[in-house]
Amino acid sequence: MEDEFRQRVRDWMAAHLTGEFAALAGTGGPGREHEHVELRARWERVLGEAGWIGLGWPAPHGGGASIAEQVAFHEEYARAGGPGRLSHIGEHLLAPTLVAHGTDAQRRRFLPPIAAATELWCQGYSEPEAGSDLANVQTRAELAGGRWHVTGQKVWTSLAHVADWCFVLARTTPGSTRKEGLSYLLVPMDQPGVTVRPIVQLTGTSEFNEVFFDDAVTDADLVVGAPGDGWRIATSTLAHERGVATLGQQMQFARELDAVVERARATGAFADPVVADRIADAWAGLQGLRHHALRTLRNDDPDPAAASVAKLLWAGWHQRLGELAMAVEGAGATLVDAAPYDLTDAQRLFLFTRADTIYGGADEIQRNIVASHVLGSR
């Protein structure tokens, strides 16, 4: 059955990543999120029409696909060169959170447009003083006149410039500190009280943004869980962040490694035993990432620290791959053309992966999480 499903995905991708969508193959990945945004949005809607969005959501909300089928979809999507996903945050972060913690009305309102890719989402967690230390959130919200009034700033908000909605972690209990008094609000982006400012990255592109809420509003019933229970809901969302889609991410890693190997042959760098050893180490590390992900996904009693272990593993691995890509290119890898500084694939990979050990929870925070679960709080 899994082989049949995998072949169905493969055939569908071959039939649909053609025509106007052929230009999307291999685009929109890390450091390239600016590419073909409007065309990728149309591609998302084609995916939705075919039922590929929400594949892993439980029935009756989604496709109810098995873990093996979800793995097959993400691997075949990446193998075919499917473009970077614009609906990822809604599909893989918010939707499972609503299935687990939302009201029936919230699920009826938001799951269908996520599945159809007619509404895109961003995540309002990190702030200038609350990055990896998420419990230090200072954005506040007050319930008045039947609506939540939100004021504050979020930062590193991926895809905020194209999102229709944002799930926002805000402090709703005056005087509360740390994990207490937070609420998980669903806030529309298209309103006068929301300002989005792109942040230019080392790669010269702007995949993430800073978002300012200045008395932005949302309806009173658009709080997921009870008011003040936002920390529990927010951590539930984070648990979904490193789910089955990581297998597709690893297929993208494999393509990047293949490109490095091809360049090593072309430049003669493979003849250097040190470079050859680093390539072998990268290949072995990638196999380890895959087996760890599969073991975690198929564990009926999941280790709460497994997601942090996975983040530590792939972030360091991917960063080392960027360094290897530059080593394979040699001294010329340090040169760029004049403005606008069009980067090579190796340069883009190297520069973008500098952030891998920071975003999504810095390595230091991930190690603290692992230690607290393994050793207990001390």
- Distance set, CA 34 to CA 101, 134, 217, 229, 378 (Å): 33, 27, 29, 35, 44
Question: Could you give the residue numbers annotated as active site?
Answer: 241
Q: Residue 292: name the closest of 282, 303, 281 by CA.
A: 303
Query: Which helix H or strand E contains 376, and what residues bound it?
Result: none
DSSP string, 263-316: HHHHHTGGGSHHHHHHHHHHHHHHHHHHHHHHHHHT-SS--TTHHHHHHHHHHH
**Rounded Cα distance, 141 and 216, in Å:** 9
**Rounded Cα distance, 225 and 306, in Å:** 25
Look up tokens 């709703």; give the residue.
Answer: 172
Q: Residue 170: name the closest of 182, 186, 160 by CA.
A: 182
**Rounded Cα distance, 198 and 207, in Å:** 8
Look up tokens 């072995």; give the residue.
Answer: 284
**Rounded Cα distance, 36 and 162, in Å:** 12
Asked if 134 contacts 126 with a C-beta cutoff of 8 angstroms, the reply is yes
Please provide the size of the chain in residues. Answer: 378
Q: Residue 82: name the closest of 23, 20, 38 by CA.
A: 23
**Rounded Cα distance, 274 and 131, in Å:** 37
